Chain A
Amino acid sequence: DTGVSQDPRHKITKRGQNVTFRCDPISEHNRLYWYRQTLGQGPEFLTYFQNEAQLEKSRLLSDRFSAERPKGSFSTLEIQRTEQGDSAMYLCASTPNPPGYTFGSGTRLTVV
């Protein structure tokens, strides 16, 4: 399977803990995007990378959030000091040439 892979699929954490999610894009895709989806809403853009460079960040991405894409391959999204409002589905997508995005299955975060 050469799709976009996200790990873990589900994460339950206590408020105040740090969490990290991983996304492995399709190998030849140089653009990688992170989105967040809450119940009843469409996905909202968080940030994107072209190769290893983080080119844009949404204002939704507070200073508790950080994303990296070392060597332009996999990416990680870390949330520090989680809050209940961080509970959502975190989606990763990649593309070689827009607009042909492929999404992963997402990581569902529950903060209790």
Chain B
Amino acid sequence: DQQVKQNSPSLSVQEGRISILNCDYTNSMFDYFLWYKKYPAEGPTFLISISSIKDKNEDGRFTVFLNKSAKHLSLHIVPSQPGDSAVYFCAAADSSYKLIFGSGTRLLVRP
């Protein structure tokens, strides 16, 4: 059973516009949610996280929104830049702080 789902395998946006990446989860006991960015042949790079007790966290161009009632979170990138093109993974941390990842969304930012 997939506890963390990213239903959009890919997303293409124009440079300067907003990128919205979505993630759904099934386990209401997750403590933290995180977004990672990954380039080919590299490990995931941490972007931003949010505690389950919050509904928004912002860091520069990146904002994560958490809707606990819908078990949904989203990552907003604005403005999008070509260097943001990568695969983005949503992850949830359980009580032992192991991460459960979604399958990823490939973002392409077109110049």
Contact = CB atoms under 8 A, between A and B. Distances in A.
B93 interface: yes
A65 interface: no
A99 B49 CA distance: 8
A48 B98 contact: yes
A36 to B, nearest CB: 11
Interface stretch (A14-22, A68-76, A78-86, A100-108): A100-108
Interface residues of A, number: 27
B93 A103 contact: no
A43 B89 contact: yes
Given A42-B102, A45-B98, A105 B43 contact: yes
B43 A4 contact: yes
A33 B42 contact: no
A102 B46 CA distance: 7
Interface in B36-63: 36, 41-46, 49
Interface in A16-50: 31, 33, 35, 40-45, 48
Closest 4 CB pairs of A and B: A42-B101, A103-B43, A98-B97, A99-B32
Interface of B: 4, 6, 31-32, 34, 36, 41-46, 49, 89, 91, 93, 96-104
